[in-house]
Amino acid sequence: MKKAATITYTPLSKSFYEVSPVRLARKLIGTVIVRIIDNNILAARIVEAEAYGGSDDPASHAYRGKTDRNKMMFNSGGYSYVYFTYGMHYCFNVVAGTGRTAGAVLIRAAEPLEGINIMKKNRNRDTLRDLLSGPAKLCQAFAIERSLNGIPLDRPPLFISKSPNTSPPKIKTTPRIGIKEGIDKKWRFVDAGSEFLSVI
DNA sequence: CTCTGGATTAGCT
DNA sequence: GCTAATCCAGAGC
């Protein structure tokens, strides 16, 4: 029998997410993403996130309006937006705002806390630092794919919990990664000095 | 309908 | 540093 989790995770309520994507991205650094799968718990502390807006943000999927793929970005906050890219990868976003404008936060990297052996198996990798250090890696480790698009994030099988840490993370902002437009905006938020970032 | 390229990663050079 | 892997949304015709 596997040892029980030593920490109890409580999902953040919807109101936590009803702020702008930029504000939400900052708030999410240090919180814990929790995945329940096959009676097992996976948990990781978010150390890197990027904000994406709506018609004001050319780097956003929602820039050109609502489509079948990006419609979750126009929802009110607290839901997942999972999309497929590069023919082989999924990325996980947290929808932000009240629903009046589009917006979401891409979760780019996290620090493994619990269920590390399952993450290693899902990733087919043994190195701790290589488990969650990128948006597609994180999805693979957490078994996040298309069927989890649009689900609420305040209950299993996937939710986000307040940081277990007492000391708040030291947050640094940088331009977003892997985009061509909107590089002037410093909408990437990282836990400065974390060993588990996608890009240092 | 067809075509292009992407909020990426891994593996090789 | 370079690029294959591999699907589908979005744009153009």
CATH number of the structural domain spanning residue A88: 3.10.300.10
pLDDT given at position A158: 97
Q: What percent of chain A has pLDDT over 90?
A: 90
CB–CB of A144/A12 below 8 Å?
Answer: no
Residue A163 CA and nucleotide C2 C1' are separated, in Å, by 39
Which structural domain, as residue segments, surrounds residue A33? 14-191
Of the CA atoms within 13 Å of residue A63, those in its CB half-sphere come to: 9
Instruction: Read off φ and ψ for residue A52, nearest 5 degrees.
Output: -130, 135
Residue A186 CA and nucleotide B5 C1' are separated, in Å, by 25
Q: Is residue A198 part of a domain?
A: no
Q: Is residue A9 part of a domain?
A: no
State the Cα–Cα distance between residues A161 and A28, nearest whole angstrom.
Answer: 9
pLDDT, tens only, A6-55:
678 999 999 999 999 999 999 999 999 999 999 999 999 999 999 999 99
Write down the mean pLDDT value for chain A. 94
Q: Is residue A197 part of a domain?
A: no
Q: What percent of chain A has pLDDT over 70?
A: 96
For nucleotide B6, give the residue with the nearest CA to its C1'. A86
Nucleotide nearest to A105 (CA to C1'): B7
Residue A69 CA and nucleotide C9 C1' are separated, in Å, by 7
pLDDT given at position A2: 57
Residue A73 has pLDDT above 60, yes or no: yes
State the Cα–Cα distance between residues A171 and A48, nearest whole angstrom.
Answer: 9
Residue A172 has pLDDT above 70, yes or no: yes
Domain count within chain A: 1
**Full-model pTM:** 0.94
Residue A199 CA and nucleotide B12 C1' are separated, in Å, by 21
State the Cα–Cα distance between residues A66 and A168, nearest whole angstrom.
Answer: 36
pLDDT given at position A4: 58
pLDDT given at position A197: 96
Q: Is residue A5 part of a domain?
A: no
Q: Which residues touch strand C (CB under 7 A)?
A: A 61, 64, 67-70, 84-88
Check residues 53 to 112 of chain A and report those whose beta carbon is under 7 Å from nucleic acid strand B: 59-62, 70, 73, 81, 85-89, 91, 93, 104, 106
Q: Is residue A149 part of a domain?
A: yes
pLDDT, tens only, A110-156:
999 999 999 999 999 999 999 999 999 999 999 999 999 999 999 99
Please report the DSSP string for A163-186 in residue order. Answer: -S-SSPP-EEEEPPSS-SS-TTS-
CB atoms within 10 A of CB A72: 21
Q: Is residue A196 part of a domain?
A: no
Contact partners, residue A117, CB within 8 Å, separation at least 6: none
Q: What's the sign of the alpha-carbon dihedral A12, A17, A18, A20?
A: positive
Strand C bases near protein CB (under 7 Å) are 5-11
